[in-house]
Amino acid sequence: MPPQDSDFITGGGIRVDYLITRDGKAHNHKIGGNAIYAAAGAAIWSDSVSVWGRIGNNYPRKWIAKLEDFAISGSGLKLVNGDHDHRTFYAYQADGTRDDTQPEKHYARIGQSMPDALIGYHDSTPAQDDPEVLEPLALRKQDWPKHYQGVIAVHLAPLPLRTHLEVVPFLREIGIGQITVDPGERYMQPQLARYLRQILPLIDVFLPSVQEIASLFGTEVDLLVAAKTLRDWGAKKIVIKRGSRGVLLYKAGWRDLVQLDAYHGKDDERVIDVTGAGDSFCGGFMVGLAMRKGMQYAARLGLVSASFTIEGYGALYPLQTSSQERLARQIALESRSSAIY
């Protein structure tokens, strides 16, 4: 059967995850990557979602079939000859902070030997802050599949700066009507702001985390001032992701930030693993925004997607929920009023 068109595309990393959660439990060799987490967040609300990314010969083919089992198309995956490094490692501390380096130290902390597969691992974002370098698994504009016709929206998950600089203008040139971008954490630096200013005018929504805002503007920055600065740099709409504190919304012409709470409270015992929550939010937000019911509606769909992701392990966990559960959470969030931050 020839590849099928998809309405919604999530472009980003296709990874093999190794996680140590806050409770000191290790979860090794799991399907992951920000493109897949975002796709799962979108697939909660649409049956026409495809992941766009690069994989090496060593990527588990059974995982591509597993995506298809959940109605996420893997037809946009580009095979790169040879074996390549798909590894991602995250260790969560008791205070909720996350480290993606020194896996041997963190496995020793929980009394386990580091998996052999992590020997030689450095970090999960090689060359992310380099405007000139594309590592082997970084998306390029020439990776865009010819069968992607009639695409409604594309979300670009955190990727190397070079990829965002190259791919965003390409997507606009070929007529993609809705482009959203979640920035790479390591390129949200003051010395790289000139590159960010090239990207922002070409996208529809910019979705940084509050930590990335602090990295770019300083830890003492007023978030409204930061949002207005991004607007002055060309951003049309901005969503600041704040984890358990929900999201802040802003767009050109607004005087204030609008706050929407997360589904779970900070100490909710149902929260198991927050990996991929921001990516899953972005996927749900992408689908909601395409419905043209406003930013708050889109953000609530994203918050529902994220709420399911953090209640289990793995990128595809939220897709094990029922449509009734999803609708119930959507209604619950709609019953909560927004606030001015």
Predicted local confidence at residue 123, as pLDDT: 80
* 202 domain-assigned: yes
Structural domains counted in the chain: 1
* 1 domain-assigned: no
Q: Which domain covers residue 303, as residue numbers?
A: 8-340
* 73 domain-assigned: yes
Whole-angstrom distance, CA of residue 13 vs CA of residue 16: 10
CATH of the domain at 240: 3.40.1190.20
Instruction: Count each helix (H run) and each strand (E run) in the chain, helices first.
Output: 10, 14
* 2 domain-assigned: no
Q: Which two tokens stand for residue 143?
A: 């990776």
Residue 48 CA, chain-centre distance (Å), reads 18
Predicted local confidence at residue 80, as pLDDT: 97
* 252 domain-assigned: yes
Predicted local confidence at residue 94, as pLDDT: 78
Q: Are strands 49-56 and 153-156 parallel, antiparallel or unpaired?
A: unpaired
In 151-177, which positions are buried (b, 16+ CB within 10 angstroms) versus exposed (e)?
bbbbbbbbbbbbbbbbbbeebeeeebe
* 71 domain-assigned: yes
For the chain (341 residues), the mean pLDDT of every run of 10, in chain order, is 79 96 92 97 97 97 94 96 95 84 94 95 85 95 96 97 98 98 95 98 98 97 98 98 96 96 91 94 98 97 98 93 96 94 92
Predicted local confidence at residue 1, as pLDDT: 42
